[in-house]
Structure 1
Amino acid sequence: MTDRKLLKKLLLSCALTSAMATAYAQQAPAPENPELKIYRAVPTKVNDLIHTKLDVRFDYKKRYLYGKEWVTLKPHFYPTDSLRLDAKGMDLKSVAVVKNGKNIPLKFKYDDSLSVAIKLDKVYQNNENYTIYIDYTAKPNELKVKGSAAINDAKGLYFINPDGTEKDKPVQIWTQGETESSSCWFPTIDKPSQKTTEEITMTVPAKYVTLSNGKLVSQKTNADGTRTDTWKQELPHSPYLFMMAVGDFKIYKDKWKDKEVSYYLEPKYAPYAKDIFGFTPEVIDFYSKTLGVDYPWVKYSQIVVRDYVSGAMENTSATLHGDYVQATKRELLDAYFSSGQSTIVHELFHQWFGDYVTAESWSNLTVNESFANFSETIWAEHKYGKDAGDDHNYTDMQSYLRSPGANTKNLVRFYYADKEEVFDAVTYQKGGRILNMLRNYLGNAAFYKGLNIYLKTNAFKNGEAQQLRLAFEEASGQDLNWFFNQWYYGAGHPILNISYKWDEATKTETVYLKQTQDGQTFKLPMAIDVYQGGKKVRYKAWMNNKVDSVSYQLAGKPDLVNVDADKILLTKKTDNKTIDEFSFQYFNAPNYLDRYEAIEAAASDQTRKEAQKILIAALKDKYYGLRIKAIKALNLTKDDIRNPAQPILASLAQTDDNTLVRAAALSALGKLKASGNMNLFTQSLSSQSYAVQGAALNAIALLDPAKAMSLAKGLEKDNRGALTSAIMNLYTANGNDAEWPYVYQHFIDAGIQEKFNNLRGFADMTAKVNKPEYAQQGIGQLKEAGIRFKVYGAAPFVVTQLEAIKAARTAMKDDASAKVADEAIKAVNDAK
């Protein structure tokens, strides 16, 4: 899944991190959970799913699914006369075995509305199939289930605006199966180790379209205004990958080779279908060729839905996306390799790693999610260049390193309190980085040969990390136990300190390597590049001990010794180079991180001429991400920086081919508060880029807030992304009752991350608006956010804001609003 996978898509905004960290620090440490001591074995297979046939219809008013199921199974190995199916919160009207076309009732016991134990009509052997018929009603909205930080709900089946009472929101039905929520809408053995073929017949209002796994094989129009669609998935896959979607979607049909590739979007976004998803066939082709296994399913569809409970989901042949991927052409101008694009390629790679070969258990989720994360890097590298891939890879590593407690968790995790916990920065970001290290160590040819062996050996079956190791060993001829033991079955990462010493007498350069982390010593192969006399020589080295060193005899003192020259190690690193060495590294070493590290070093001490030289040069770096980094690093209060930088920034703001660079340059110039730049800022408001417009409006606000407020009024009709944020920041800081309707509506409509970003400003405005009804509207939204985002740790911060609002309203003698704020504080604190 994304990103849920997104997990990384749902990280708290930087604006709130410090405040929330303070709130966390004040909480008592949680007691040790005894469930963490339970070994999570792969569930024993008593029966195997073979085929699942469903006939469903929907009650929009009651939010019910009426289902009939014919599920075919066989004993896995040992004879059995019993069957247990997962079935959460259903009414089970009848359970029967199908014999010669007749349903013979069976005895069953429904345990706690979670699973049903069925007594079969006889003892079946493992060469005998049997079919069970179940007539049932699924009631997802009546289920008492909890989600997680990655997937914030787990009721499996979702009715969106079913009564049509919510303005501007479509009526939709969709499903979400991962981890084990498919059993909320049909009885099954809801484990990833099961595989089954599938047939789903849906009867829906005729005005709607449907989507499911596999191929649409028939459509029948009924006399009552409904239509019956039948979808068949003829290759086996796991129950959590089953999906349905129903609604008013426009379908754009594309293709890869002879297979249909389609995009399902809300009608208003249909004109942008090709802009959003049009690169999908190119990605399918790249992955197919890279893996040596052609895309395995009959079609590939992508559908965008409202109110999705995660980032996206890789349902077999039918990926479901949250609506954040929908965008207009103007929004896409600022996207580049955005979260939406990275999610699209992430979910597509799952069609091989996750769907074609599925993790045997949630403990081995790495063979699904680490690969999907890794795929984002290799696509960025392929499509946009190595710098883009390295940027994405490094950003993911930093996400892992900053994730609290991540260094204590194994990648393959047999101990956890809840399976949902495995969807974290270790499985995603760390796992993807580990695969990239292995690719570097083995080389592309051996690495991708290993993936090919793994996929072909385990096709339409299940895999785990040990099978992955064996495939890489078969491909490379190397023993890789050392790699898997430390990276897959161990926790943490090396904390590496690197220092250097030149001995002029012996002409010897010594590199001192020290791992300072607690616990295990990591075995680290690395490349070391030595630059001396206008030449670069590469050496291979291994760090086998916590304290190690390597020495090189050279003709003279080197200009640079570049440890981990490929910048591939997953490590928290302190590299004790001089600023002169970092300067040489910026101008001579080839990789993104070589230049990134030099810019970092230069930013920390801008009094040095070499540091200034790096930063000014980096304003014209070939990679846009480093141009932006250099712009943000500039200390423009220093004449030695501002004087050479200002004309370059003005040029970048007007002519750079990347809108985000132009926006960053405008932001930097805006902080100078130089009236001579006003024309540039106002001209930039006419840009098609929302990022450029937003930066320009912010810059104008710093010079002339009243003018910015006036200009913002003209931008209210068409604003998204950075421009919306700029207007929100401007209004919450300088506005009052006249601006409240805009601020309030945009806060309601905002996505999760945008809400996080706007919480503080929205709270500040709620505290100061004149009308009590406006204040109470804001308090209501903050209460809702505090409850909804409690799982992300936002509640303490929201409570702090509500307490400030209570005090402000009391001072304004608005006792009614103060009382509402007090009630909101209690509601957030009491929420589960």
Structure 2
Amino acid sequence: MKTLYAAVLIGSISACALSTAVAQTAAPAPDPALSIYRETTPKYNDLVHTKLDVRFDYKKRFMYGKEWVTLKPHFYPTDSLRLDAQGMDIKNVSIVKAGKNTPLKFTYDSLTINIKLDRTYRNNENYTVYIDYTSKPNQLKAQGSAAITDAKGLYFINPDGTEKDKPTQIWTQGETQSSSAWFPTIDKPNQKTTDEIVMTVPAKYVTLSNGRLASQKVNADGTRTDTWKQELPHSPYLFMMAVGDFKITKDTWKGKEVSYYLEPKYAPYARDIFGFTPEVMEFYSKTLGVDYPWNKYSQIVVRDYVSGAMENTSATLHGDYVQATKRELIDAYYSQGRSTIVHELFHQWFGDYVTAESWSNLTVNESFADFSETLWAEHKYGKDAGDAHINDDRQNYLSQPNLKTKDLVRFHYKDKEEVFDAVTYQKGGSILYMLRNYLGNEAFYKGLNIYLKTNAFKNGEAHQLRLALEEASGRDLSWFFNQWYFGAGHPILNITYKWDDATKTQTVYMNQTQDGNAFILPIAIDVYAGGKMERKKFWIRNKVDSLVFHSATKPSLVNVDGDKMLLVKKTDSKTLDEFVFQYFNAPLYLDRFEAITAAVKQQSNAGARKVVIAALNDKYYELQIKAIRGADMSNDDVRNAAQPILIKLAQTDPNTLVRAAAITVLGKLKASGNTNLFKDALKSQSYAVQGAALTALGLLNPADALTLAKTYEKDSEGALTQAILNVYATSGSDEQYDYVYKAFTEGQPQTQFNIMKKFADFTGRIKNNEQALKGTNAMIDFGMKYKKYGVAPQVAGILAEVKANRAKLNDTATVAAIDKATVELNKAE
């Protein structure tokens, strides 16, 4: 699963709000739930095969199901069976023998069916239980999380067709343990079962499930019955169904069907969105030495999805954020969202083929999928792209200090959903990146091959991964796993240097200042002296460690962690001159990133300016953008050198995000001589370039920009829409308010948060009190909906500004609504 709305969206929403809230409240008392050891669920019975026959009641939002579940005792004889079944009506539970159903005694508490079997069974005996039931997901009281915002398992989207411009769909979401909201099962990741799912649906709709479409039958009542068969075992949380008006585009990989299910509007762009999938399947298969293991691979895009994407076996489900036109995709570079597609595909090996045996060991699913994003980036787009992606992971984790006490393999948590965080994803992916560097590619991938083949169609955990990597490499890895997998935190490393000219010796001091024990860190230290680079291998083993070596001349640069592999919070006391040297001589993305970071802070220095100006044409676009945004255009020397370069970039750079960044900086100069450049940029097919150009023109002439914005309303997406909103919110009147209101209320949560401040400013000044109240209520609704993720203080602060402005306009209704909402927003959860 890619938790887009948790790790990316809600995390960014709540960062400021949470920091404020934490600063104002005392540390909470320890939660007793955290003292509970979360063991792997014991196995009393094993799932063998699950057959479902389902039909849907769109009006009631019910699913009527019949199930035949075949099991056997795991080891010990048993005369009982416990199945998870959330919020269902259970009509019949029977044992199936010789084609006949014999009722069994059972009790049901709305969460679990406890069944008394007809006799005691041994582990060489299978038995089949029949269950007739009704699933009522909309009546289920299910608590979501930041990672998965709802947990009712089965979702009816616009079932009555009353929501304009939204299709009617049904889809499921099983992770973590929500499959049992739509069929009774042992809803634990350490279970594996084959399955057959028979769906009867309106004949006009398409269906998708795991495995192969075995048959289709058109019925006389206007329905169709589709039978899907998954003939290799997988865990219950990976079961899926989807029903709706989808157009299917088909590819192949080694004779296996690869298909893309999209809304008809986006079907023409199916290959633009997903068409590289077979190439990724080939690359991952070769890299891992295990061919894609399932009989097909489908990807489907649905509305109102509750997370980012989900790796259901052979049938990945994506939220509608991935749907885009060819034109929208012009600006969709890898790190802007395409990585989710490869993340979910890698799960077909790490997560589906071999599944974490418990949520405590989620790292063997999600850390690998996170790492796979970097793996594909460096293969397809080059080492800079891979290094940039993994560095983003590191910084995502390191920027959240509340995570430093959490182990990667986590046996203590309040709720299993908490494990879906930046420790499991970004920290875990960064750890695998380090481990690959330490072992070398060949040994690392051989170890993954051993792990996959040894545990195929079964479950795995971190210790099995360690043993596989040790078998491949011949190295003991307990030290690595103990500190990174079964320990918490990360090194906080201060690096200082001393050159002794008399003895010609260089000393490098490395001081770990984090609480607790020292981390053992094998590192490369690159020494640049006399026009040459020499690499020294070193193991940091102590909280205070140092390396002393002789050099004929004072090194121009001592580059600690020359491979730029460490997951570490680093303070490096290099001089600015050394960072300048680093930019032009050290080869890696992070070498140049660090140098640009240092240079933009000291642009009065000639060397720093040289770095900033050179980086405007860096070979990697993200570093170009960093330099463009960092250039101090108030400095005459910087502006004189940078402006002609920026003009050229704005006009001709092949990367649209670089062009947009250059236009944005030029726009802030408010130089009328750039007007034609901006107007030419409005003709671009890139929404990012158009958006930057419209914003720039708005800074030059707000009235003209307001007129221009109107002409682009009907054909705008992404950055252009954002620019229109900004122009309207800054310079618009009541006439433009409905456009901004609609964009806010129909946007994804991240979009809503991004534009809320501008929307609030606009709401505060419009003349129409009814519109102002409508907009205020939309912001209140957002704050209440996401209050549990920590946004309430920030939303309350924004509303306070709206209140002050509406009070000046004597808008008593809006002021009263804000007063009432503020009380609710400030209440503790």
TM-score using structure 2 length: 0.99
Q: Shift of residue 771 of structure 1?
A: 1.1
Give the match for residue 734 of structure 2.
737
CA distance in 2, matches of 1:269, 1:177: 26
Aligned-partner SS, 1:625: helix
The answer as to 2:254 corresponding to 1:257 is yes
Work out whether residues 5 and 146 of structure 2, in 8 Å CA contact, stay in contact via their aligned partners in 1.
Answer: no
Give the match for residue 92 of structure 2.
94
Of 594, 601, 605, 1:604 maps to 601
CA distance in 1, matches of 2:518, 2:340: 35
Of 462, 465, 468, 2:465 maps to 468
Give the match for residue 426 of structure 1.
423
Aligned-partner SS, 2:820: helix
Of 121, 146, 152, 2:143 maps to 146
Give the aligned residue type for 2:301.
Answer: V
CA distance in 2, matches of 1:172, 1:824: 34
CA distance in 2, matches of 1:205, 1:826: 47
Give the match for residue 104 of structure 2.
106
* Aligned residue runs from structure 1 range 749-764, under 5 A: 749-764=746-761
Give the aligned residue type for 2:790.
Answer: G
Give the match for residue 659 of structure 1.
656
Give the match for residue 583 of structure 1.
580
Give the aligned residue type for 1:327.
Answer: A
Give the match for residue 638 of structure 1.
635
Aligned-partner SS, 2:337: helix
Give the match for residue 592 of structure 2.
595
Give the match for residue 548 of structure 2.
551
CA distance in 1, matches of 2:8, 2:326: 22
Q: Shift of residue 819 of structure 1?
A: 2.5
CA distance in 2, matches of 1:430, 1:225: 51
Of 36, 39, 42, 1:38 maps to 36
Give the aligned residue type for 2:32.
Answer: P
Work out whether residues 13 and 757 of structure 1, in 8 Å CA contact, stay in contact via their aligned partners in 2.
Answer: no
Q: Shift of residue 829 of structure 1?
A: 4.5
Work out whether residues 248 and 262 of structure 2, in 8 Å CA contact, stay in contact via their aligned partners in 1.
Answer: yes
Work out whether residues 55 and 201 of structure 2, in 8 Å CA contact, stay in contact via their aligned partners in 1.
Answer: yes
Give the match for residue 171 of structure 1.
168
Aligned-partner SS, 1:235: strand
Distance change >3 Å, CA 5–CA 751, structure 1 → 2: closer
CA distance in 2, matches of 1:19, 1:350: 33
Give the match for residue 63 of structure 2.
65
Work out whether residues 496 and 516 of structure 1, in 8 Å CA contact, stay in contact via their aligned partners in 2.
Answer: yes
Aligned-partner SS, 1:158: strand
* Aligned residue runs from structure 1 range 479-494, under 5 A: 479-494=476-491
Give the match for residue 301 of structure 1.
298
Aligned-partner SS, 1:518: coil
Of 533, 539, 543, 1:542 maps to 539
Q: Shift of residue 741 of structure 1?
A: 1.1
Q: Shift of residue 5 of structure 1?
A: 5.2
Of 762, 771, 794, 1:774 maps to 771
Aligned-partner SS, 1:296: coil
Give the aligned residue type for 2:72.
Answer: K
Give the match for residue 10 of structure 1.
9
Work out whether residues 55 and 69 of structure 1, in 8 Å CA contact, stay in contact via their aligned partners in 2.
Answer: yes
Deviations 1:377-407 (A, max 9, x none): 0100000000000000001100001124111
Q: Shift of residue 830 of structure 1?
A: 5.5
Of 155, 159, 162, 2:159 maps to 162
Aligned-partner SS, 1:84: strand
CA distance in 1, matches of 2:593, 2:604: 19
Give the match for residue 49 of structure 2.
51
Give the match for residue 808 of structure 1.
805
* Aligned residue runs from structure 1 range 246-325, under 5 A: 246-325=243-322
TM-score using structure 1 length: 0.98
Aligned-partner SS, 1:48: strand
CA distance in 2, matches of 1:813, 1:503: 73
Aligned-partner SS, 1:329: coil
Q: Shift of residue 13 of structure 1?
A: 4.1
Work out whether residues 10 and 146 of structure 2, in 8 Å CA contact, stay in contact via their aligned partners in 1.
Answer: no
CA distance in 1, matches of 2:54, 2:28: 44
Work out whether residues 12 and 756 of structure 1, in 8 Å CA contact, stay in contact via their aligned partners in 2.
Answer: no
Aligned-partner SS, 1:665: helix
Q: Shift of residue 825 of structure 1?
A: 3.1
Q: What is the RMSD of the two structures over their aligned residues, measured on CA atoms?
A: 1.2
CA distance in 2, matches of 1:553, 1:633: 38
Give the aligned residue type for 1:350.
Answer: H
Aligned-partner SS, 1:68: strand
CA distance in 2, matches of 1:11, 1:575: 32
Deviations 1:305-330 (A, max 9, x none): 00000000000000000000001111
CA distance in 1, matches of 2:805, 2:622: 42
Distance change >3 Å, CA 401–CA 562, structure 1 → 2: same
Work out whether residues 580 and 611 of structure 2, in 8 Å CA contact, stay in contact via their aligned partners in 1.
Answer: yes
Work out whether residues 79 and 118 of structure 2, in 8 Å CA contact, stay in contact via their aligned partners in 1.
Answer: yes
Give the match for residue 75 of structure 1.
73
Aligned-partner SS, 1:479: coil
CA distance in 2, matches of 1:32, 1:775: 43
CA distance in 2, matches of 1:808, 1:20: 26
Q: Shift of residue 826 of structure 1?
A: 4.1
Aligned-partner SS, 2:735: coil
More deviation in 669-678 or 198-207? 669-678
Work out whether residues 17 and 792 of structure 2, in 8 Å CA contact, stay in contact via their aligned partners in 1.
Answer: no
Aligned-partner SS, 2:96: strand
Work out whether residues 737 and 771 of structure 1, in 8 Å CA contact, stay in contact via their aligned partners in 2.
Answer: yes
Q: Shift of residue 810 of structure 1?
A: 2.8
Of 412, 422, 435, 1:438 maps to 435
Of 504, 518, 522, 1:521 maps to 518
CA distance in 1, matches of 2:659, 2:742: 29
More deviation in 655-664 or 23-32? 23-32
Distance change >3 Å, CA 331–CA 451, structure 1 → 2: same
Work out whether residues 787 and 831 of structure 1, in 8 Å CA contact, stay in contact via their aligned partners in 2.
Answer: no
Give the match for residue 645 of structure 2.
648
CA distance in 2, matches of 1:517, 1:831: 33
More deviation in 99-108 or 725-734? 725-734
Q: Shift of residue 9 of structure 1?
A: 2.9
CA distance in 2, matches of 1:439, 1:257: 29
Q: Shift of residue 821 of structure 1?
A: 2.7
Percent sequence identity over aligned pairs: 71
CA distance in 2, matches of 1:548, 1:141: 59
Aligned-partner SS, 1:344: helix
Aligned-partner SS, 1:757: helix
Q: Shift of residue 783 of structure 1?
A: 1.7
Aligned-partner SS, 2:252: strand
Q: Shift of residue 817 of structure 1?
A: 2.4
Give the match for residue 570 of structure 1.
567
Give the aligned residue type for 2:265.
Answer: K
* Aligned residue runs from structure 1 range 328-727, under 5 A: 328-727=325-724
Aligned-partner SS, 1:716: helix
Work out whether residues 249 and 266 of structure 1, in 8 Å CA contact, stay in contact via their aligned partners in 2.
Answer: yes
Work out whether residues 23 and 797 of structure 1, in 8 Å CA contact, stay in contact via their aligned partners in 2.
Answer: no
The answer as to 2:784 corresponding to 1:793 is no
Q: Shift of residue 496 of structure 1?
A: 0.6
Give the aligned residue type for 1:193.
Answer: N
Distance change >3 Å, CA 696–CA 33, structure 1 → 2: same
Deviations 1:771-825 (A, max 9, x none): 1221121122112211222232111211222233233323212222222333333
CA distance in 2, matches of 1:828, 1:132: 48
CA distance in 1, matches of 2:676, 2:826: 49
Work out whether residues 156 and 182 of structure 1, in 8 Å CA contact, stay in contact via their aligned partners in 2.
Answer: yes
Of 214, 218, 223, 1:217 maps to 214
Work out whether residues 525 and 541 of structure 1, in 8 Å CA contact, stay in contact via their aligned partners in 2.
Answer: yes
Q: Shift of residue 661 of structure 1?
A: 0.3
CA distance in 1, matches of 2:800, 2:5: 32
